[in-house]
Homo-oligomer: A and B are copies of this chain.
């Protein structure tokens, strides 16, 4: 079997971590009898440098024609990068927002869990960690404040800026269904996060989620206000199974959750539409300060590639093998700098990729 994969190396550490993910994918392909054909697609700063825009129509067309998209990371250092002098819709991030919308990738899955082997990196106290935690954040990715109508005006010399947060019930229903579906494969609990004591959009969110919950009598639904959730992630992350929330709350809470695990360099993500199609990228950013130095941890991207095999290509066995290889490498004591601890062997980006590919 052969599949077409659009590859977006992106900016910063993107190219080097994607390269290692491809290496591991190819090792899995050899073992499990499939072939991936890669087409490189420019996005973000890399695209601005060549085309003057963060994402071209051709790039979108190539992504659409593929079976799945594998991405590194986009964006540069806001302080020093020339891209940040450009108009907002010409900056690297605009490419990411655009591809999400164009490919209708409304369902963003971000697992956040504690690696037994990396417990020491967790910023929380031992008694809070307990037996560890394992959450899945289901973030709505193509609606809400980040895609609403916005404008800046000036009246009598006073500038005013407006952003709009809107959701209709269909947008809420489809992400809620995804959240409950995944809870069913996990610990059967959904925590829906909103600000229903203030926002109209949150009240609609809550009512639609309650409606969807009726089809899942085996899943427990709990509502939590976003400010409380930001506290609970620190106080007791063990309580969460699936966190279901809208775009902006999901942006903030998923980053908090991944930092709470202490292993942000290890966390993958998948952005899916109604079909099997998806875009896979690490949860972390482009880390321009360490780009090109063989220092970046490629594991989040490698695990994102495993998610791609599972969700978009139905290659579950190969996905399992990659995940097992990552676990084995950790057990064997290899670490990149970000997760290094005493008694372990420190390795670079390329060597980490080699070690995982060998174990697939």
Residues of A within 8 A of B (CB): 75, 78, 88, 91, 93, 97, 122-125, 128, 145-146, 150-152, 158-170, 195, 197-201, 203-205, 223, 226-228, 230-235, 248-249, 251-256, 258-260, 264
What separation, in Å, do the CA atoms of A253 and B170 have in the docked complex?
30
Told that A160-B167, A161-B204, A162-B165 touch, could you supply 15 new A-B pairs with CB distance under 8 A? Answer: A97-B198, A145-B145, A150-B201, A159-B204, A160-B166, A161-B168, A161-B200, A161-B203, A162-B164, A162-B200, A163-B200, A163-B201, A227-B252, A230-B256, A231-B264
What separation, in Å, do the CA atoms of A239 and B329 have in the docked complex?
34
Q: Determine chain A's interface SS by DSSP, over half rule.
A: helix
Chain B residues contacting A152 (CB-CB under 8 Å) are 200, 203-204
What separation, in Å, do the CA atoms of A168 and B159 have in the docked complex?
6
Chain B residues contacting A93 (CB-CB under 8 Å) are 197-198
Nearest CB in chain B to that of A124: its residue: B123
Q: Would B145 and A158 count as touching, CB distance under 8 A?
A: no
Can you name 21 A-B pairs with beta carbons within 8 Å? A124-B124, A124-B125, A146-B198, A146-B199, A150-B199, A151-B200, A160-B169, A161-B167, A161-B200, A161-B201, A161-B203, A165-B165, A227-B255, A230-B252, A230-B255, A230-B256, A231-B259, A231-B264, A234-B234, A235-B259, A256-B256
Nearest CB in chain B to that of A93: its residue: B197
Q: Would B151 and A162 count as touching, CB distance under 8 A?
A: no
Chain B residues contacting A232 (CB-CB under 8 Å) are 259
Please pick, from B200, B204, B228, the residue contacting A255 in the complex, using a CB distance under 8 A.
B228
Q: Would B160 and A163 count as touching, CB distance under 8 A?
A: no
Q: Would B256 and A197 count as touching, CB distance under 8 A?
A: no
Chain B residues contacting A231 (CB-CB under 8 Å) are 255-256, 258-259, 264
Q: Would A145 and B165 count as touching, CB distance under 8 A?
A: yes
**How near does chain B come to A193, taking the closest CB pair, in angstroms?**
10
Q: Would B200 and A150 count as touching, CB distance under 8 A?
A: yes
Chain B residues contacting A227 (CB-CB under 8 Å) are 251-252, 254-255
Chain B residues contacting A158 (CB-CB under 8 Å) are 168-170
